[in-house]
Structure 1
């Protein structure tokens, strides 16, 4: 088995739904992030042996979207690529897949991450191939049905999270306070330029998008408290304390330690382990907490042995649950804000936040971080990065 290192990472900005990246396809976002990553490393594109691309909303996107992004990039046309669809976990699963490929000696350099355009997800007309004898036909929103809808329970993920809220007694005030702090941290990090090094600007027909569009400096507890609760009545989950819908892409370059050294590349981190947990789909929020616990146990680590927890903020309620159940300190969790502020471009998020975590570990000279998220269908994925 070979040790696996993370050489560098790159991500696009998070584009708001129907925002600055609305005219850019998921494939073009992926191509932009791939080329942005290749531009910043002293490695010839032909040295990349393998690419794994997470992408969750695939209705109407075209055959093998990961292959499309690679073909459009500066990578050789012969570069092997795998497209991974595991809902929100797609990007981290892509990294796990590449890690195993490298650890087994089947490649020396691999790129992994994800891409998503929630804005460009189409509406579809199920069953219409057979036609409608009479009556109305109903369109389905693939953005919701292919990524935010649990088929087993025929329910939105927000509805299932309301069940967690009820079971655990998580108040709306705690969720709104978490959401407010996520926005405050995101605004502060953006103003301090903490994402400048990892960011790849995206050229659109109108302008260049080079800043995350989601974080809001003008929000408050009062404003959050006025938002509706669409998933339950009475409910607690709102558009303000759940992740925003967004567009984006992000990738990391992985390598065997030997190959990186031979190429004269200085790794940002080592990818040392990962954990995957699944539960009944109704309790998918439990699975992300269980993945954190499993990764700690596998490596004989205490909670305080991990400097940063970069956990995708699908819902503020989920983060409150992780803190309560696992004991993760708020000061180590999503220190620059999370998806409640930036957005959660489903299959892209894993690659984007993995790149961000690597940059934070290096900038702050920290020893260890976890990166992961919950997965639709009842899952949780979590990977560990350690400084070399």
Structure 2
């Protein structure tokens, strides 16, 4: 890798991206304090390492808008916050993180009218840690299904019958807005609607990327087991496999979530989303679907080789935006990107609000290796409407105590 500039960097503080309000960064430093232990018989100083520390300094612009630099920094909160400096915004790029206290907010108004604010934060408990970004800067979940294909406002887009059903637009009920997709069974076999054919209307996917798919179901008269499925297809449209969650019962009184987080197979080029109702009791039974989402969570980070696991690892999470019920954000690793070694959980975070910042340590470092491929996977049990977050992982190269 060649030398780099500091162009395109990011700075997050307390779950707020204040990069655009930041002029420059000063010291980003840390390490252990040194204690002099020189004996009488020595001709030079002897020192041993003591407690760890860290500090980050930066210069901010004055921006009084909501959730911008002045509002975030001028409060000088007494509790700890988290600062994350991202050197660029590529997956795997370096980042420095620190949990600590902001101890200064000092504006200077220069003679030419330039207003700058000096800010300083010092670590509390852990020092400053460098690691790699597991998200490319701040990652926002963006729905690959848009307009009618996602929310069924004014129509059903390219959705069509998939199995034993007729599919129509309905305004009888809706989770959001005024429209939904109505699936009416034509037999007692599974009834399903799909986002139509793979090459013509399928969602373009990237092999080995992880995707989060969710949809909401509601019964018109009788509860049945329902689920959202993903069929994977090649570039020529050939079927590869299906990813599916455990089916759940819908109800007549509210909306039931079905969601699945899955990786695209190595030869996948398209995905088809399928909303399925299991074994209706008779022809004409109706179930509704609304707010379907298909979110690309991106690839795993290839660090080049398996990493030492017995010295533990720490992950830093900053959530800048969240609406919904819950999200579980998990760091997973695999030796071969999931080819023969399935991804395994290492560190998990629960998100129910924003902004939030969390630092977590791997719970079983002596038995869990941080392997060559590391990814972040988002799952939900209650539903996600929007989510933006940044994640950094530091794998200790030596025995480190905090």
Check whether TM > 0.5.
Answer: no
Q: TM-score, normalised by structure 1?
A: 0.28
Q: Which has the higher helix share?
A: 1
Higher Rg of the two aligned structures = 2
Q: TM-score, normalised by structure 2?
A: 0.28
Structure scoring higher RCO (CA < 8 A, sep ≥ 6) equals 1
Q: Which has the higher strand share?
A: 2
